[in-house]
Structure 1
């Protein structure tokens, strides 16, 4: 039931780095650990299935968001710019999921080449940071719109676009270590060509701990503090606001959405970041209990699945639940149905007109004469 792998050069430096945890580069780059790494074989079948499900659902949801926002002819808003960029970040991440599903299915054997290893890993890291940063921006924007509605009207699309560019730039900078160190290496003992992070042996512990700390702090802790603070203030404002006190149903709907955003963020990302932090401690031999390291190595793939699942949940939370987005989606759907019916009616009208012209009295007589049986 279990496959034994030596816990050698294993890193979790990006969202998918658990894929390298069953591999090593060489004996010169070993990260010493007395504990063997146990992997249950069902991971190599269950994880690819979960990835495929997340890929299909996330691709459908985020594609609908992008199409609706692009086809909407009304005035654009600041929130729409953030939602569009969030959907694009999720789509970039989802585009690489089939590759990582195959990586698991082939037992950590990367068959797509060194360049795709580096690009796919960097895209995942980029998505992780960009998604969380855009969720943070949307939380701050929602806070301003609800708590300071008059002041928030000063926001411009140019400012939102500039912030979006800064977010992408910061996400790219945060992903540079992944782009630099990620590469493919043939693991002779396992007979696989693995896509792994190859830190310098002399500074392996420092690089591993540093990237994990950056990921935990910049990619989760700081955004979580900002998001939680914004929504706590929104909650306090709504419970005190006279308008929302009168309309309890409207207030409760907004508060439930606020709670859903925070809870979904925690469910999707907290397990991954806790396991990543514990894994970094294990690499520095601060945690040397083999039972704990086994639990970390076994559960980390599923923590990553939860992180990927956030790409499916984002469209539901930020778009489909929203009343304005539902109206845009219905308008687009009705427009498509109207265009389809108009095309059919136009085609039927042309056909009917042709038949009517063909059935004029003179033509009918001629047709009858021509249709007489002949010997």
Structure 2
């Protein structure tokens, strides 16, 4: 059984490759997200609802980056630590807390961005159509419209952080203090740590269902928009607004891509992991744990790639970043010309 904590140990892939990946992702993620946050907070004066969502998304990304050194240390040396050592307790609590809080905040915010993008287009079109139904005018003109309002976006993000912290902190405390109490194996890296107990299993199943829900929200937004686009193509010309439609469609596709590549494999595998982890085959259990940990690393990797995604999601961010680099290059060229001129003017 999974709780017979004697048969699990990290392979070279976990103890060598995972720490390297986490350290690289941490460095890239910190550099990219700190730069992105600086642009959002200091360079963009007039912030839209999308900017509010992206600021909170970057904050969640930085939290993931803070968890990565803990995860790296756990996989590289956790098998040699005593469970009740300070190192093990810190990694188990803070690493788990940071990683999962930021993961679910990111998921929620990505869903809100998809809804906001969809609502921005639909509220402008359907509320102005004469043949739009009363339901469409209320839903798109009043309900979804709120997602495009910066003040509502701030309140929504505040609520997201509060709700996620209120749910995950108690589960993490219970997981670290009660569920992982070692009986047979006193190692930090053990079956008990990797499989968890009843409460943490339930929490992970709920989290898996939530990932699926977020994916369905984005999927529904995309296909509703695609259906609407096909409808208006038949009835009228969309030449003037075609670039806007393409932009919305691209944003929804980008968010779908992130969820499918990064989050969906982990969420699909978790039920499989718990179904197959009740085994006496130590080799099979080790394989299952290895797969779970690499898929979790894939989910965490999204936080380091987000600064690239921002270039596709927000034109203001892209324009500001390009202007920033042009300004730096211009200043560098000016200094170089000044130095050359100063050198040529020196007496021979």
> What TM-score do you get using the length of structure 1 for normalisation?
0.70
Larger radius of gyration, structure 1 or 2? 1
> SS of the residue aligned with 1:76?
coil
**Which runs of 5 or more residues in structure 2 are unaligned?**
126-140
Distance 1:198 1:98 in 2: 18
Q: Report how many aligned residue pairs link the two structures.
A: 318
Deviations 1:305-352 (A, max 9, x none): 210111123332233553322111123334455667788999999x99
Q: How far 1:303 sits from its partner (Å)?
A: 0.7
The Cα shift of 1:211 comes to 1.4
List aligned pairs for 1:27-106, cutoff 5 A: 37=8, 39-106=10-77
Say if 2:112 is the partner of 1:137.
Answer: yes
Aligned to 1:122: 97
In structure 2, the residue matched to 1:227 is 218
Cα distance, 1:95 vs structure 2:
1.2
> As a proportion of its length, which structure holds more helix?
2
Q: 1:344 to 1:38 in 2, by over 3 A?
A: closer
5+ residue gaps in structure 1? 1-5, 10-22, 25-35, 356-375
Q: 1:280 and 2:274 equivalent?
A: yes
Q: Contact 1:62/1:91 (CA < 8 Å) preserved in 2?
A: yes
User: Which SS does the other structure have where 1:108 is aligned?
Assistant: helix
The CA deviation string for residues 68-121 of structure 1, in whole angstroms up to 9 with x for no partner, is: 111224311100000010011011111120121121111434563534532232
Q: CA deviation at 1:48?
A: 1.0
CA contact (8 A) 2:49 2:147 kept: no
Q: CA RMSD in A?
A: 3.9
Determine which structure has the larger strand proportion and give its number.
1
Q: Whole-Å Cα distance in 2 between the matches of residues 146 and 282 of structure 1?
A: 45
Which residue pairs with 2:205 in the alignment?
213
Query: Cα 1:290–1:115, aligned 2, differ >3 Å: closer, same or farther?
Result: closer
Kept after mapping to 2: 8 A contact 1:272/1:304 = yes
2:227 maps to 1:236: yes
Query: Residue 313 in 1 paired to residue 305 in 2?
Result: yes
Tell me which residue corresponds to 2:262.
268
Task: Tell me the distance in 1 between the aligned counterparts of 2:71 and 2:193.
Answer: 18
Q: Secondary structure at the match of 2:265?
A: helix
Report the TM-score when normalising by structure 2: 0.75
